[in-house]
Structures are given as structure tokens and as C-alpha cells.
Chain A
Amino acid sequence: MELTLWTYEGPPHVGALRIADSMEGVHYVLHAPQGDTYADLLFTMIERQQRRPPVSYTTFQARDLGGDTAELVKRTIAEAVERFRPEALLVGESCTAELIQDQPGALAAGMDLGGIPMVNLELPAYSKKENWGAAETFYQLVRTLLKPQLPPPGTPKADPSRWRAEGRRPRVNLLGASRLGFRCRDDVREITGLLASHGVDVAVVAPLGARPADLMGIPTADANVCLYPEVAGPLCSWLERSFGMATVKTVPIGVGATVTFLQELHRTLGLELPAGLIPGDDGRCDSERHSQLPWYSRSVDSTYLTGKRVFIFGDASHAIAAARIASRELGFQVVGLGTYSRELAREVRAAAAELGLEALISDDYLAVEAAMAEAAPELVLGTQMERHSAKRLGVPCAVISAPLHVQDVPARYSPVMGFEGANVLFDSWVHPLMMGLEEHLIGMFRHDFEFVDGHRSHLGEGAPSAGSSGASGSSGVSLAEPPSTGAPATAGELCWSSEGEAELAKIPFFVRPKVRRNTEAFARERGIGAITDEVLYEAKAHYSR
């Protein structure tokens, strides 16, 4: 038994629902009690879907339990098949139905479904969670549909460069994009365009937008692109094992990862690397010019991003990608990295180790919030849960991963994958920090007569000392911020001499509060009561080290 207040992931049958809702022509019969239909609103509200998810709930009640719930399952299956005429049927149960052991899959197998492929989903609700359920459903569905095509054991592996002999362009499948995944709709469009620009076609995109018949075409591709390992990982390994299909594993989020992805793709397909993907003498690939991120990051305005303390938490693939971008492409300092995806904990641990960190693997958002507070970040990259935690701590935050809120499904085109995705990430991570700079301006001018009483910062008055300060470095005054959460000085124990105040007044206004804080912390540590101009310079020298 485990106490949960908010959860990152729903139960595994919600994962199955995500697969069903992502596709066309698939229907899911779910043996579940009244109330479980709440899951529909995830799709119709968060994703603003215009149709109900393709699911029929048996809606059993207490009075049914004495009677024949199995009969109810069969009736629901028959009705769903009759009404929706699906091309493939998923049959499964939610947590409560699992306990009454009607085995809806077995019941369905005993029914005449008119030849519709049926997948019996057994998703253990008391030990597994949503992403596992999505991955398992996707895998089971494809496996069921591809069973007739399974090559006999001992068949030699498919050659991923066979396209050449067949006199056609190479083609790959894009696997794992699903409803309620982060920016999947736009990522698919971005990656499809990116592949086209390198002469590679897309055979099947799945599950998003695919029909069961499309899935039958998966083996016609030369390789699989595992875009979202949380959903497509198990399927890609099975396709590798059973069909000998190669997998492109790099998740193309960020400029570096996109270049690596393209290099891996070319290598896998036996395509010659174009000049743009071959690193020059300076180690840079020309292809990186397809994104604004490298130049924006090098431009002088970004100097103030240097060493920003960033805390990252999300699903494994987005968290790992964010860590790479933050540390290498934006010059941030990653001070925390973690995931709720236990299935991919190993990968996250490795990424954290590379940054000299220990990964936080947890699905307890309070533990994540505590780690966040402890790390004293200046920016949080997380899920909707971390957005709330960061708001409480007064730290700016950008959402990088599911679980989503309606605002994470923007109307405009905003992928996070590929070169355009890197542009989107630059904007969405840096803009909250710009607000940090603005904070100083507002703080500075707060006492000017133009500022009326009602004018308040969006962060409120109580932004914490270690968090939201936005500017250092670009002023030429190099007082680096200490990583401590040092309590603000209380009046009385410290006083500023008039020379000290005068010296402080010469410091550019937008770093002045931070200099004041640091100097006071320095003085307090050393038991200095009066802060003179000399103390201020000593503090400056101390923090510059």
C-alpha cells in the first residue's frame, strides 16, 4: 500500500486507451465499473479531441456482481462490434474488473466477432502504470496483426540497405507517437519533413493516426525509428528480434541529438553521409545551421544564461534530452535530473552520471519537490507537477514532458524534435528567465511614482532569494551567485556603513539586490557587523573565486 496524492501516470488501462485513441478503426472494450469513464475527459479536454475516445465501458455495478458480469462483458463486446464496426478490437479490464476475474479477453475469444482481429490485453493494474500499459498495448496489437507475416525462425535478418537493390528510396517507420504524449502531433510532422529532406520516406507512423491495416505494413520499412521509447521501446525490440528490423534509437530532441539521429539513420540505412552531417575542423556540422539555437545560444544576449542552475524531471526520454541540451547547448548547469519512468531508469542514471549527478528515480512528487528545493535551481524543466512545485518555490519553469495540461497542446506548430523543435525549446526555456530579468527591473522601479500600488509582479512579492534572480554576468560585475539558500539578513544584526551603501549604489541596479544579499551572507558568516565598502569588495573577491 502506498500513499499517493497526485500521480504522474494513470493506471495501465489508460495507456491502452491512449493507443486506441491515437488510432483510427480500433475499438477498446473495457470491463470497468461506473466512474472509470472519467478517462474520456483526458482526451476530450486536455487534447481537445472532437470525438469521444473509441472505448466502450461495461459499467458494472454492485448489483451486477451477484449476477452474471461475464454476460455483461459479452453483451458490451457484441454491441461495440455492431455499432462501431472496428477493424481491430482491444479487450481488457480496469483494476476492479481484474479482481472479479471474468477474463474478458477469453470471453471475446469465444465469440464470433466476424473475423476482426482481437487483442486480449492483460495489464496488471496493481503493479504497472500508464506508459507500461501503452507500450504493452502497442506491442500486443502489432504482434497480433503481424502474426501471419512472421518470418520462420532462421530467416536471415532483413538488410536495412535493401532499398538500394530494390531501386527505391529508403523508408522507415516512426513509432511511439501517441495521444497525451508531449507534442507528438508536431514532432511527427517535423521528423517526417527532416527525413524527406534527406531522401528518406516514412512508411508507417504509429500509433498516432494509423489504422490497423497500416500496421500490417510495418515490415515493409527498412528500419524503425523509436521516437518515443516509453511507448515504442518494447515493440521495436520485438521487431528487431522477430523481423530482424534495425532500430534508430537516438531521440532527436536538441540540435546535437538531431545531428546524431541523422548520422545514426544514415549509418543504419547504408546511406552516404551528406557533407552537412560530417563534423568540420571545429567539430561543428553544417547541418546545425538549420536551427537558430546554436547562434542564439552563442549570441551575446545569451551570456547571462551561463551557468544557470537547472533542475530537470520528466519522462525518461524528455529528461535525458533536456539534460543534454541544457548542459551542452545552452551552457546551463544541470543541478538535478530525474524521471518517474522506472522502466528507463538505467538510461537516466547514466545521463545523470555523465553530469556528475545522481539521478532521482521517483514517482512521489513530494520527493521531487524536496529535491528541487534542495538543488536551489534558477529554472525548472519538468512536467505539469513540477510546474506547480516550481510556482510554489517561486522558480520559473518550462514544461518538457507529460503529464500534460491543456496548455501543453498549443494551437500553433510547436514540435520539440528536430531543428525547429530546438528553436521551440530555446524560446520556451529562455523566456521564463527573461521574466527573471524583468523582475529586477520591476523591483528596481517599484518605488518610483509611476508604479501604482496595484502593480504586482507575476511571481508575487515573496520570490525566494536563491531562485528567481535573472541577471548576473552580463553586467560586467562578476559576482557569481552562491548555491546556498542563505536566509535573508534580518535588520539589526547587520548594518551598512554610508561608504558601503554608496559603493553598493554604484553597482548596476539589476544585480544590486543579489550583491546586497551575497555581501550580507559573507559578512554574517564572518561575524562582521558593519558592512563598509571594503567588506563589499572582499565579498566580491570571495564569490569570484
Chain B
Amino acid sequence: MTTTLPPPIKESGQREVFCGLTSIVWLHRRMPDAFFLVVGSRTCAHLIQSAAGVMIFAEPRFGTAILGERDLAGLADANDELDRLVAQLLARRPEIRTLFLVGSCPSEVIKLDLAKAAERLGAQHRGRVTVLNYSGSGIETTFTQGEDGALQALVPLMGAPETGTGASTGGGSGTGRAAEQLLIAGTLADAVEDRLVNLFARLGLDNVATLPPRRSTQLPRVGPGTKLLLAQPYLSGTARALIDRGAELIRAPYPLGVQGSRAWMAAAAAAFGIDPALVSAVLDPLVERGQRAMAPHRETLAGKRLFLMPDSQLEIPLARFLSQDCGMELVEVGTPYLDRQLMAAELEQLPPGTQLSEGQHVEKQLERVMAQRPDLVVCGLGLANPLEAQGIATKWSIELVFSPIHGIDQAADLAELFARPLRRRGALTFT
């Protein structure tokens, strides 16, 4: 139980985290018919390009409308300018169906109303493109919270389930059965999603929808009868919005690792009243195979001491996976913010005494790292080489949001991501 955990260290100070704009890097790949237009500064543009690391696309499906001095002088002008720029952009990219106006620190500070702008632009380009807005600003969001914002912006467009369809109109618990669906929220790699949907089908769950969808225009429906299963732990706002629409949140850990993924699927199955015997029949062979695949990595990781710096909000589920499945010892588990409701099923599986920390004062946290000398630190790219130079192995957290890591079948790959830096250190000698 969570009561076995000491109170988290709460800190504020310099935060070595990305802002929510960063999530555009994976969102635009998930929805190839959407464009993400940041309304911000040169810093925003530089951030996304630096976080993405490579510039392989001629014209990526994201860009920045860089505010100039004139835009700051008069908001009326800024709105005109934005309209002009969007018209230009849409003329150039006729394949775009959904345009996200993404708020940034400067746009929020000057109170540029992007909701109004989205409404106005939506009317101007009606029938061609849907215009939405959300905030990815650093003053409001960290890193993965940007996805939470983008998905929340989609929720109002999601239709209600068709009512009264289906045959089961009889009384009792069967009422509305036909409208029942499982809604998985949170971006997954396409291949991983296909696999998970396929496994749910084997459990007898055929009506599975995902948010975000692969095409921005093909949004799933939501309403009473929708059971919500979160694939990512950073969707507090989206979960709330979906619950407000009548969805029912399934309490589960996140699908990272063999045990977490099994529990995640089993929780969904239980919510639909599926016979646990069927769940065992389908999943247990996978669990057995997953553990076999993970065994060599477990050997590398077991007993090693792990420190997670706050960054992607995946820290708590990862810590649970690395201690539960891989036998690692947890030194400190940082998280940008702690959502106790969404983390409930994770927190109760952390080993007693696990030290959490919320927020960040990077200097003080690094002092703790140096004092504790963990074997592996999960951190952002800015900190990785300096820690390696101090003789501490690191895993960059951004790799975790780019790699297919969810589900029982990916558990070994996920373990390998953490085992690799340790194996590599062992493989190098210069004497």
C-alpha cells in the first residue's frame, strides 16, 4: 500500500525538463494528416528541432509561427498575421485535415487567445480543416503533458455512442451492452497498438478504439458504456475530460513490463466481465515467453541501483517495472508531478520505503545522485554526458517516448534499453 512509502521529497528550483511542445515530435507522426503550428518564439522552434535531434523531413508537419516585435506591439495585428500565415500554410499543405494551434510561453504571457483564433480560423477554413488549440507552454506543461493537452483538444469532437442499437434491450445488467467499448488513450507505436488490439480480440474484446487515432478525422466515440484504459500515465486532463463525457476509468497499472502489461490487460478484461480463466489461457503463455526473453537482461539489471530524474512522467511505472520485473533497487524515483489517482495502481506495487521526489531542484538532486552513486540514472539529454563523465551510467528518457516499449511482448526490449548502458560499460576497456 502507498502508506508504506515515505512522503515524497518536494522541490522547486531549476527544472531540467522539456516543455510540452516536445510531444509534437511523436504526435505528428501518429497523426500524419495533422499539422502542429506553435505560436511562439525562435526559442520554441529551436527547442523542437534540438529535441527532435534530426532534421530529416523537408517540410515536417509542424512549424513555429515566430512572434516578431510588431506582433507584440498589437494583438490585433498578431491575429491578422496568424490568419495570413495559416492561409499560406494550408495552401501549401492541402493534405492537412486538422490544424493544432499550440500555445507557448510567449503567446500565453501576451494573452494571445488561441481558442478564439482557432474558432475564427476554423470558420474561415470550414469543410477543409478542423482547427484546434492547446497549450504546450513551459509555464503550464512539462514534456509529455503536451500530449495530454492535444488529446483534450480532440475530446469535444468525439461523437457520442450510438444509443439503442444492438439487440440487448432486455432489463438487468445487459442494458446498453452494444454501446460498450474499450477506449485506449495515449500514443502507442502503431505496431504495438495492433498487437494489443489483436490480443484484446483474443480475449473476446472486439470493440476497441484508440485515442489519438491514426487519422485525425477518425475520432473514436465516447459516452456511457465507454471504459477507458490509459496506455500512458500522463493523461490526467484527457482522462478527466473523457470521464466527464461518461467514460469509466479502469484502474490499472501501465502496460510496461511483463507483469504490468498483464495486469493492464487483465484489468480491462475484468471491467468487461471476461472470465479470468480465458485471460490466463491467452496471456500466461505470453507472460512465460516474455519472462524468458527478459531473463538475460534481468541478470544484468538485478541488484543494480537505479535513480530516476523527473522528466517524462513515465518514471513511476518504469521504476515499478525495473524493480518488479528486473530486480533493480530503487534509490530515488523523481516525477515532474504526482497524480496520485492515475498512479494509484503503480504506487502500491513499489517496494516499501521507495523514495519519491516531486518537482525538481536539479542542483540538489544531482548532489543526491553523487552522494548515492547509483549504477544507472534515467535522465534527460542535457544531463546524460555530464553524469557519464562522472562514471555513472545513464539512460536518456527521451528514447522511452520514441521506442515501442508497451506490452508483454515488448518487455524484453524495454529491459534491454536499460541493460545496454550497463553492458556497454562492461564491454569497454582501454588497457
Which residues of A are at the interface with B, using a C-beta cutoff of 8 A? 1-7, 9-11, 13-14, 33-42, 44-45, 48-52, 56-62, 64-65, 76, 79, 83, 94-96, 99-100, 124-127, 129, 366, 369, 384-385, 388-389, 392
Contact B65 A44 (CB under 8 A): no
Once A4-B64, A37-B15 are accepted as A-B contacts, the answer to whether A10 and B139 lie under 8 Å apart by CB is no
Once A33-B137, A34-B19, A34-B142 are accepted as A-B contacts, the answer to whether A125 and B385 lie under 8 Å apart by CB is no
Across the interface, B106 reaches (CB within 8 A) one of A14, A40, A79, A99, namely: A99
Within 8 A of A (CB), among B37-67: 40-43, 45-47, 49-51, 53, 55-56, 58-60, 62-67
Say how far A460's CB is from chain B's closest CB, in angstroms.
Answer: 14
Any A CB within 8 A of the CB of B110: yes
Contact B59 A49 (CB under 8 A): no
Across the interface, A369 reaches (CB within 8 A) one of B58, B67, B108, B140, namely: B58
Contact A51 B386 (CB under 8 A): yes
Interface centre among B60, B71, B106 (most CB of A within 10 A): B106
Which of B2-10, B80-88, B286-294 makes up part of the contact surface?
A: B80-88
Return chain B residues, CB-CB under 8 Å to A33.
Answer: 19, 105, 137-139
Contact B18 A35 (CB under 8 A): yes
Contact B13 A35 (CB under 8 A): no
Any A CB within 8 A of the CB of B68: yes
Contact B63 A127 (CB under 8 A): no
Return chain A residues, CB-CB under 8 Å to B18.
Answer: 35, 38
Across the interface, A50 reaches (CB within 8 A) one of B13, B43, B386, namely: B386
**Contacts A/B (CB < 8 Å), 7 sampled:** A7-B42, A38-B19, A38-B382, A45-B381, A49-B386, A126-B68, A366-B59
Residue of A nearest to B336 (CB): A34
Contact A44 B71 (CB under 8 A): no
Contact A95 B42 (CB under 8 A): yes
Contact B16 A1 (CB under 8 A): no
Return chain A residues, CB-CB under 8 Å to B110.
Answer: 99
Residue of A nearest to B105 (CB): A96
Any A CB within 8 A of the CB of B371: no
Return chain A residues, CB-CB under 8 Å to B142.
Answer: 34-35
Say how far B12's CB is from chain A's closest CB, in angstroms.
Answer: 8
Known: A11-B43, A45-B382, A96-B139. 17 other contacts (CB 8 A): A2-B65, A4-B63, A4-B64, A35-B21, A35-B105, A35-B137, A35-B138, A37-B380, A38-B18, A38-B47, A44-B381, A44-B386, A76-B14, A95-B41, A95-B105, A100-B109, A389-B58
Say how far A498's CB is from chain B's closest CB, in angstroms.
Answer: 44
Q: How far is it, in angstroms, between the C-alpha of A7 and the C-alpha of B64 when the chains are bound?
A: 10
Any A CB within 8 A of the CB of B201: no
Contact B17 A37 (CB under 8 A): yes
Contact B63 A5 (CB under 8 A): yes
Q: How far is it, in angstroms, between the C-alpha of A127 and the C-alpha of B41 when the chains are bound?
A: 10
Q: How far is it, in angstroms, between the C-alpha of A408 and the C-alpha of B84 when the chains are bound?
A: 38
Once A3-B89, A99-B106 are accepted as A-B contacts, the answer to whether A65 and B72 lie under 8 Å apart by CB is no
Contact B139 A125 (CB under 8 A): no
Return chain B residues, CB-CB under 8 Å to A99.
Answer: 72, 106, 109-110
Contact B381 A41 (CB under 8 A): yes
Return chain A residues, CB-CB under 8 Å to B65.
Answer: 1-3
Return chain B residues, CB-CB under 8 Å to A126.
Answer: 41, 67-69, 72
Contact B17 A34 (CB under 8 A): yes
Q: How far is it, in angstroms, between the C-alpha of A79 and the C-alpha of B367 when the chains are bound?
A: 15
Q: How far is it, in angstroms, between the C-alpha of A125 and the C-alpha of B67 when the chains are bound?
A: 10
Return chain B residues, CB-CB under 8 Å to A44.
Answer: 381-386
Q: How far is it, in angstroms, between the C-alpha of A3 and the C-alpha of B37 when the chains are bound?
A: 9
Q: How far is it, in angstroms, between the C-alpha of A81 and the C-alpha of B385 when the chains are bound?
A: 24
Say how far A468's CB is from chain B's closest CB, in angstroms.
Answer: 18
Say how far B323's CB is from chain A's closest CB, in angstroms.
Answer: 28
Across the interface, B41 reaches (CB within 8 A) one of A62, A96, A389, namely: A96
Return chain A residues, CB-CB under 8 Å to B58.
Answer: 366, 369, 388-389, 392
Say how far A413's CB is from chain B's closest CB, in angstroms.
Answer: 20
Contact A59 B14 (CB under 8 A): yes
Say how far A540's CB is from chain B's closest CB, in angstroms.
Answer: 37
Say how far B326's CB is from chain A's closest CB, in angstroms.
Answer: 27
Any A CB within 8 A of the CB of B363: yes
Q: How far is it, in angstroms, between the C-alpha of A11 and the C-alpha of B46 when the chains are bound?
A: 8
For the A-B complex, the count of residue pairs with Cβ-Cβ distances under 8 Å equals 189
Across the interface, B138 reaches (CB within 8 A) one of A5, A34, A56, namely: A34
Q: How far is it, in angstroms, between the C-alpha of A48 and the C-alpha of B60 when the chains are bound?
A: 27
Which residues of B are at the interface with A, using a C-beta cutoff of 8 A? 12-22, 40-43, 45-47, 49-51, 53, 55-56, 58-60, 62-69, 71-72, 78, 81-82, 84-85, 88-89, 105-106, 108-110, 137-140, 142, 363, 380-386, 389
Q: How far is it, in angstroms, between the C-alpha of A128 and the C-alpha of B110 when the chains are bound?
A: 19
Contact A95 B69 (CB under 8 A): no
Residue of B nearest to A128 (CB): B42
Say how far B49's CB is from chain A's closest CB, in angstroms.
Answer: 5
Once A44-B383, A95-B106, A126-B67 are accepted as A-B contacts, the answer to whether A6 and B55 lie under 8 Å apart by CB is yes
Residue of B nearest to A124 (CB): B69
Return chain A residues, CB-CB under 8 Å to B105.
Answer: 33, 35, 95-96
Contact B66 A1 (CB under 8 A): yes
Q: How far is it, in angstroms, between the C-alpha of A300 and the C-alpha of B202 when the chains are bound?
A: 70
Return chain B residues, CB-CB under 8 Å to A127.
Answer: 68-69
Once A4-B66, A10-B43, A125-B42 are accepted as A-B contacts, the answer to whether A38 and B51 lie under 8 Å apart by CB is yes
Q: How far is it, in angstroms, between the C-alpha of A368 and the C-alpha of B17 when the chains are bound?
A: 33
Once A48-B385, A96-B41, A99-B109 are accepted as A-B contacts, the answer to whether A3 and B88 lie under 8 Å apart by CB is yes
Return chain A residues, CB-CB under 8 Å to B363.
Answer: 79, 83
Across the interface, B50 reaches (CB within 8 A) one of A5, A38, A49, A369, namely: A38
Residue of A nearest to B38 (CB): A4
Say how far A54's CB is from chain B's closest CB, in angstroms.
Answer: 12
Q: How far is it, in angstroms, between the C-alpha of A4 and the C-alpha of B67 when the chains are bound?
A: 11
Contact B385 A45 (CB under 8 A): yes
Return chain A residues, CB-CB under 8 Å to B380.
Answer: 37, 41
Residue of B nearest to A38 (CB): B47
Residue of A nearest to B13 (CB): A59
Interface centre among B14, B17, B78 (most CB of A within 10 A): B14
Return chain B residues, CB-CB under 8 Å to A95.
Answer: 40-43, 105-106
Q: How far is it, in angstroms, between the C-alpha of A5 and the C-alpha of B89 when the chains are bound?
A: 11
Return chain A residues, CB-CB under 8 Å to B81.
Answer: 1
> Shortest 9 CB-CB distances between A and B: which pairs?
A35-B19, A35-B138, A40-B382, A50-B389, A1-B81, A96-B105, A95-B41, A41-B381, A10-B46
Return chain A residues, CB-CB under 8 Å to B56.
Answer: 388
Q: How far is it, in angstroms, between the C-alpha of A385 and the C-alpha of B55 when the chains are bound?
A: 7
Say how far A103's CB is from chain B's closest CB, in angstroms.
Answer: 15
Once A7-B46, A52-B382, A126-B67 are accepted as A-B contacts, the answer to whether A60 and B41 lie under 8 Å apart by CB is no
Say how far A127's CB is from chain B's closest CB, in angstroms.
Answer: 5
Return chain B residues, CB-CB under 8 Å to A9.
Answer: 42
Across the interface, B49 reaches (CB within 8 A) one of A6, A61, A129, namely: A6
Say how far A443's CB is from chain B's closest CB, in angstroms.
Answer: 26
Say how far B378's CB is from chain A's closest CB, in angstroms.
Answer: 15
Q: How far is it, in angstroms, between the C-alpha of A4 and the C-alpha of B45 when the chains are bound?
A: 7
Q: How far is it, in angstroms, between the C-alpha of A127 and the C-alpha of B69 when the chains are bound?
A: 7
Contact A94 B16 (CB under 8 A): no
Q: How far is it, in angstroms, between the C-alpha of A45 and the C-alpha of B142 when the chains are bound?
A: 21
Q: How far is it, in angstroms, between the C-alpha of A94 and the C-alpha of B19 when the chains are bound?
A: 14
Q: How far is it, in angstroms, between the C-alpha of A48 and the C-alpha of B384 when the chains are bound?
A: 10
Residue of B nearest to A33 (CB): B138
Interface centre among A11, A95, A100, A127 (most CB of B within 10 A): A95
Q: How far is it, in angstroms, between the C-alpha of A40 and the C-alpha of B108 when the chains are bound?
A: 24
Q: How far is it, in angstroms, between the C-alpha of A126 and the C-alpha of B384 when the chains are bound?
A: 31
Contact B21 A3 (CB under 8 A): no
Residue of A nearest to B84 (CB): A1
Once A33-B137, A50-B385, A56-B14 are accepted as A-B contacts, the answer to whether A7 and B49 lie under 8 Å apart by CB is yes
Residue of A nearest to B136 (CB): A35
Return chain B residues, CB-CB under 8 Å to A35.
Answer: 17-22, 47, 105, 137-138, 142
Return chain B residues, CB-CB under 8 Å to A4.
Answer: 42, 45, 63-64, 66
Once A11-B42, A125-B41 are accepted as A-B contacts, the answer to whether A41 and B382 lie under 8 Å apart by CB is yes
Say how far B139's CB is from chain A's closest CB, in angstroms.
Answer: 4
